[in-house]
Structure 1
Amino acid sequence: MLEVALRHRFGPDGFALDVGFAVPAAGVTALFGPSGCGKTTVLSAVAGLLRPQSGRIAVGSTALLDTARGLDLPAERRRCAVVFQDARLFPHLSVATNLRYGLRRAPRDAEGPGFEEVVALLGLDHLLARRPAGLSGGERQRVALGRALLARPRLLLMDEPLASLDAARRGEVLPFLARLRDVARLPILLVTHALEEVDALADTLVLMERGRALAVGAVEELAARTDLPLAWRRDAGVLVTCVVAEPRGELIRLVFDGGELLTSHRPGPPGTRLRLRLRARDVSVATEAPRGVSIRNILPATLAAIAPGGEPQEVFLRLLVGPTPILARVTREAVAELGLREGQAIFALIKAVTFDHRVVTPP
């Protein structure tokens, strides 16, 4: 487990942090929330760059901080590798030498991937002779990730590592981050306010607001809750884990627990596991199976609950397709006209062109 419990105030009237969570040590834990909610402050305290007024931080059985016992390991002994928004590479050194700097900082007895493995993992072999000035932003971040990984840390900390990149470069780096997560098999704490990074990378989510943790849990679980600020976003929706199956005609089949979806996108070959964000605004409902419509996905479902939708005139419908929850955002007027009620058998209607795919594991 990764355990974090921190209390800190910046000045008498300044920002106050009072946060606690315990999450699985394996996989990626995302600290998610708006700017100024305390995400980076938590990361800095874990790294040893900020000493909180009180708290405890532990990775497994190893305590990094315990103010009640007077324990505060210095940053260099915590074995936390940090990847910042800017890569912070040594400009006068080649990519290869920057990477080997991380390897030199690794403890002698620490296990982890070797130089060649990291170079192959992050696709850096053709960049080794270059210096940072000759790299794109995405390439610099990949080198920074490689250097951090070669230090063989106990914990990898990433502070909005893609925030300074444009959309194209973010799309370039995300698959490497996912591959790093799967190969490194070490705890990763990711600070982000980008939902696409949460969808693509996170296993566990710590939802933060005003210095506190509002909710902690599996990403799929929190995404499906309508009582959290995530539901107030216009891109709110559930995450559905699917497996790519053989196509049906020109459309790709995505099989999930309870049914299948058809999509016009090609997220990977059959067997690819992926996580799909199904936005509530893209889901319509019908009380009878429609005919003569262009919508390709017509899923029998049960209306499990009707909840407030953020806007006064909107509601969320929580649908169950087998055991899989799906959210639909509709108007209160539609609910009244259709006579919708909890427990009712209805149909979820989803266009085949609406999906965003985030690969979870390679085929």
Structure 2
Amino acid sequence: MRGSFWIEAAFSAPARGVTALFGPSGSGKTSILRAIAGLERLEGHVRAGETIWQDEGRFVATHRRAVGYVFQEASLFAHLGVEENLLYGARRSPGGVDAAMRREVADLLGLDHLKSRSVADLSGGERQRVAIGRAILSRPRVMLMDEPLSGLDNRAKGEILPFIERLAGALDLPILYVSHDIAEIERLADRIVLVEAGRVRASGPLNQALTDIGLGFVRHPHAASVLTARVTAFSPEDGLAELDLCGQSVFVDGSGPQEIGLERRLRIEASDVSLSRGPLAQSTILNTLRVEIVAIEPAGRANLAILLALEGTGDFTFMAKVTRRSAERLALCPGDRLFAQIKSVSLATSPVP
């Protein structure tokens, strides 16, 4: 309990990857993060692997929890330069500064050209990259990121997101990422914890939540699904990459020959998916997938949300949003096998900077 606000949250996160705490402002996300860090003492249990940080008779102080915390504001030391800020936590951690790790973090976050500068000369995005680097170099067991992009304009967000994506793929530790921006979550998260009014409403893989009709994401005007596919080919003639999505081909713009063999995240907006009983031979729509209807639910007065699975898989689900009239005209029912034409498929992640 915090004042008159109750927090009742129980969830677990894997030892690697990004777990997003998502929900509206004031739902308790930051309070949960601060309790994990030991900055607030709430009743409950906190464990990192086999190490107990808090239970009924134990409370480990923040400085002994080995957490890297990135706040909404970069909170750099104004009297220190970029290099000194980066190494501040490392010099106080067991083992001191790891030169190899310092070079790796500088490369991942694009910091080498900044190290001789004053923090007063940095942009908002650059300041936040330095703050992230400082947190990593302190050798944490867990990274906690509390809306690190909320104080940035759209341009700065666009500049820093690729660095965070790259970092998340390289770090062998869990990242808990707080946000109320679903676009950030779609790009960064592997799992999502949905927080509402101090309580965890759902916790699980990202796309499972996005396609869970009961959670309401599909009612958002830009509702989307996020799937993982592997790059299998690249055509320099038209700039399109071919990706394998569970045995079916998807073509997208924005990849390159250096990424063949790599996994990329695909974002499919529900309103960009149309359905037909047969393949359309003469169409400008490039991506057509064989699918099966899993469920049909209301998604507003005029629309229906249709949960689709790739044929023969039972999973790899994504959503289509169609009008009730269209669904009635095709007599759509769960179990029907159809062709899904996808007007636009985009890469949810950015090219490596």
For residue 149 of structure 2, the aligned residue among 145, 157, 162 is 162
Alignment match, 1:26: 16
2:206 maps to a residue whose letter is V
Alignment match, 1:325: 317
**TM-score of the two chains, using structure 1 as the length reference:** 0.89
- Structure 2 CA distance for partners of 1:180 and 1:112, relative to 1, 3 Å: farther
Alignment match, 2:93: 106
Between the aligned residues of both structures, percent identity stands at: 41
SS of residue matched to 1:346: strand
- Structure 2 CA distance for partners of 1:302 and 1:290, relative to 1, 3 Å: same
Structure 1 runs not aligned, ≥5 long: 1-7
Alignment match, 1:221: 208
Alpha-carbon distance in 1 for matches of 2:304, 2:175: 36
Q: Is the 8 A contact 1:244 1:268 kept in 2?
A: no
Alpha-carbon distance in 1 for matches of 2:138, 2:131: 11
Q: Is the 8 A contact 2:254 2:347 kept in 1?
A: no
Q: Is the 8 A contact 1:106 1:153 kept in 2?
A: no
For residue 63 of structure 1, the aligned residue among 38, 41, 52 is 52
Alignment match, 1:344: 336
Q: Is the 8 A contact 1:308 1:316 kept in 2?
A: yes
**Could you tell which deviates more after superposition, 176-185 or 118-127?**
176-185
Q: Is the 8 A contact 2:86 2:130 kept in 1?
A: yes
**TM-score of the two chains, using structure 2 as the length reference:** 0.91
SS of residue matched to 2:227: strand
**Whose strand fraction is larger, Structure 1's or Structure 2's?**
1
1:298 maps to a residue whose letter is T
Deviation digits for residues 95-141 of structure 1, max 9, x if unmatched?
01111212112123898963222222211111111111101111111
Deviation at 1:358, TM superposition (A): 2.7
- Structure 2 CA distance for partners of 1:229 and 1:347, relative to 1, 3 Å: same
Q: Is the 8 A contact 1:242 1:255 kept in 2?
A: yes
Alpha-carbon distance in 2 for matches of 1:316, 1:232: 8
**Could you tell which deviates more after superposition, 99-108 or 242-251?**
242-251
Alpha-carbon distance in 2 for matches of 1:258, 1:360: 24
For residue 76 of structure 2, the aligned residue among 89, 99, 121 is 89
SS of residue matched to 2:265: strand
Alignment match, 1:231: 218
Alignment match, 1:72: 59
For residue 174 of structure 1, the aligned residue among 148, 161, 166 is 161
For residue 273 of structure 1, the aligned residue among 240, 263, 267 is 263
Alignment match, 1:303: 293
Alpha-carbon distance in 2 for matches of 1:116, 1:289: 52
Deviation at 1:181, TM superposition (A): 2.0
- Structure 2 CA distance for partners of 1:267 and 1:361, relative to 1, 3 Å: closer
Alignment match, 2:228: 241
SS of residue matched to 1:312: coil
Q: Is the 8 A contact 1:201 1:360 kept in 2?
A: no
Q: Is the 8 A contact 1:87 1:144 kept in 2?
A: yes
Runs of 4+ in 1 over 6 A off after TM superposition: 109-112
SS of residue matched to 2:158: helix
For residue 188 of structure 1, the aligned residue among 158, 175, 181 is 175
Alpha-carbon distance in 2 for matches of 1:289, 1:114: 52
SS of residue matched to 2:26: coil
Deviation at 1:30, TM superposition (A): 0.7
1:339 maps to a residue whose letter is A
Q: Is the 8 A contact 1:306 1:318 kept in 2?
A: yes
Deviation digits for residues 203-235 of structure 1, max 9, x if unmatched?
221111111111111112222211113222122
1:134 partnered with 2:87: no
Alpha-carbon distance in 2 for matches of 1:112, 1:289: 57
Alpha-carbon distance in 1 for matches of 2:154, 2:330: 41
SS of residue matched to 2:84: helix
CA RMSD of aligned residues (A): 2.1
**Aligned length in residues:** 345
1:199 maps to a residue whose letter is E
Deviation at 1:267, TM superposition (A): 2.7
Structure 2 runs not aligned, ≥5 long: none
- Structure 2 CA distance for partners of 1:37 and 1:229, relative to 1, 3 Å: farther
- For residues 41-56 of structure 1, the aligned pairs below 5 Å read 41-52=31-42, 54-56=43-45
Alpha-carbon distance in 1 for matches of 2:108, 2:225: 30
Alpha-carbon distance in 1 for matches of 2:186, 2:97: 31
Q: Is the 8 A contact 1:318 1:327 kept in 2?
A: yes
**Could you tell which deviates more after superposition, 197-206 or 96-105?**
197-206
- Structure 2 CA distance for partners of 1:289 and 1:116, relative to 1, 3 Å: closer
Deviation digits for residues 42-63 of structure 1, max 9, x if unmatched?
01111111111x1011101111
Deviation at 1:333, TM superposition (A): 1.3
